[in-house]
Structure 1
Amino acid sequence: MPAALRDAWATVVPDMKDRHGPLPPLMLTLTVVTGLVDAFSYLVLGHVFVANMTGNVVFSGFAIAGAPGFSLTASLAALAAFATGALFGGRLAHSARAHRGRVLHLAMLLETALVLAAYIVAAASDMPNAGTARYALIALLGLAMGVQNAAARALAVPDLTTTVLTLTITGVAADSRAAGGAGGKTGRRSLSAAAMFTGGLVGAIVVLHGGNPALPLLFATLLLAAATVTTFTLTRSDATWTQPL
């Protein structure tokens, strides 16, 4: 089996004796969630991201320059909500740092509640892209993605940040044999990009053609609920992977 396929397989079906144990497939699940949520925020709430903060910094510049379709207020609201969520996520991670499974479980509980609340707001609103509903959704989803990003940072599973792909894609090219590198982790990095692409694709399809723009948030909630149940079972483990890095 080629090395890239072995790496991909080990990410989806990890060795429980590995230093990161069952965390890699859970990180992939959260990466799909990122794609779903950002598809909703960009396509429904206007030109704003709730997970990709690099985009919001650039969008802020566009808005200040007067580019049509970009809102400085929306971008700044997303940045503030994300930073606040990261603060809460960081506090959770530090409070449960002795057990990595507990870190992820607590973060998933909070994130699931926030995304579920966002789905309820979006489903109940006639115009989720305007007024109070828009900013409530930006706040809820920004908080959720900040929590997720803080947890992913604390867990530090290599090449599975769940929200940022720039360095991941750079690693695929820069570490390849064509570049003179060893070509390691190509499978995992490619899976990470594919997971976010899948979330974005599914999110865009259901927003544009599904008749209900809130559906990406429903799908994200279901994935998060499944991850939360799974992580609860992991909190009982005392395997090596649960120990802090």
Structure 2
Amino acid sequence: MSIMDAVRPVVRDARATVLPDPADRHGPLPPALLALTVVTGLVDSFSYLVLGRVFVANMTGNIVFSGFAIAGAAGFSLAASLAALAAFAAGALLGGRIAHRCRAHRGRVLHLALVLETVLILAAYAVARFHAPLQAAGARYPLIALLGLAMGIQNATARALAVPDLTTTVLTMTVTGIAADSRAAGGHGGRTGRRALSVLAMFAGALVGAFAVRYGDPALPLLLATVLLVGCTLHAFGLTRSDASWTAPL
């Protein structure tokens, strides 16, 4: 098999993720979830780099950080990690209630969740923009709470929509799938393009967020995330009017 033969299906899969077939079972959901993956990179770059070694989307990291903090490792806060875990769980609970209440129409699930997430990220931006220092408890913990709630809602929504390989917050299984399902491993190589796009989306969000924090304003990643979320919310509002087959629950 030539290199072009191997690359062609990957490119085709990536194109189908960004520009999906309206008749596909997941309709226009993949590009929306891809955009939310960028949001995750932006938000976690802010939380880790500005708030100090705490994630608001990656709960695996906070569980590990909690162990580090209990062991007395320098630079880790048990209180901050537990606060992020609690806020994320509360957001996931709220996201789950939205998903169950609106489950008859997947577009409405996405739209309502995006409205709440946008409001929470915007509120976090306001706190970050007008309160300093951001690592002081009076700003740090409200920010962790707002962002953790937002990311919990997002994660629960992505789980409810169940678009393969687009969880928006966790990439461990995505990276595993790229390697384990590859032709080199004896697999069929399916959805490699989509998985690669998901990894690149989070990488891009984290990269842009890190540059924004380092060379711009510490709150800039949250502003960029808000702008992206506003665009997604407006797009999702149009999806609530669709009666296509993709809107039906799985």
TM-score normalised according to structure 1 size: 0.99
Counterpart residue number, 1:149: 155
Of 219, 231, 241, 1:214 maps to: 219
- Contact 2:87–2:145 (CA<8 Å) still a contact in 1? yes
Of 57, 65, 78, 1:72 maps to: 78
Q: In the aligned structure 1, how far is the partner of 2:110 from the partner of 2:162?
A: 11
Is 1:225 the counterpart of 2:242? The answer is: no
Within-5 A mapping of 1:73-152: 73-152=79-158
Counterpart residue number, 2:178: 172
What amino acid sits opposite 1:14 in the alignment? P
Q: In the aligned structure 1, how far is the partner of 2:233 from the partner of 2:189?
A: 34
Q: In the aligned structure 1, how far is the partner of 2:91 from the partner of 2:25?
A: 27
Is 1:59 the counterpart of 2:85? The answer is: no
- Contact 2:132–2:139 (CA<8 Å) still a contact in 1? no
Counterpart residue number, 1:235: 240
Gaps of 5+ in 2: 1-6
Is 1:205 the counterpart of 2:211? The answer is: yes
What displacement does 1:92 show? 0.5
What displacement does 1:126 show? 1.7
Deviations 1:146-178 (A, max 9, x none): 000000000000000000000000000000000
What displacement does 1:132 show? 1.4
CA RMSD of aligned residues (A): 0.6
SS in 2 for 1:2: helix
- Contact 2:41–2:205 (CA<8 Å) still a contact in 1? yes
Of 18, 36, 40, 1:12 maps to: 18
Is 1:183 the counterpart of 2:189? The answer is: yes
- Contact 2:84–2:145 (CA<8 Å) still a contact in 1? yes
What amino acid sits opposite 1:154 in the alignment? A
What amino acid sits opposite 1:166 in the alignment? T
What displacement does 1:201 show? 0.1
Gaps of 5+ in 1: none
Percent of counterpart pairs with the same letter?
73
Is 1:195 the counterpart of 2:201? The answer is: yes
Pairs aligned (count): 244
Runs of 4+ in 1 over 2 A off after TM superposition: none
Of 45, 48, 51, 1:42 maps to: 48
What amino acid sits opposite 1:239 in the alignment? A
Deviations 1:57-110 (A, max 9, x none): 000000001110000000000000000000000000100000000000000000
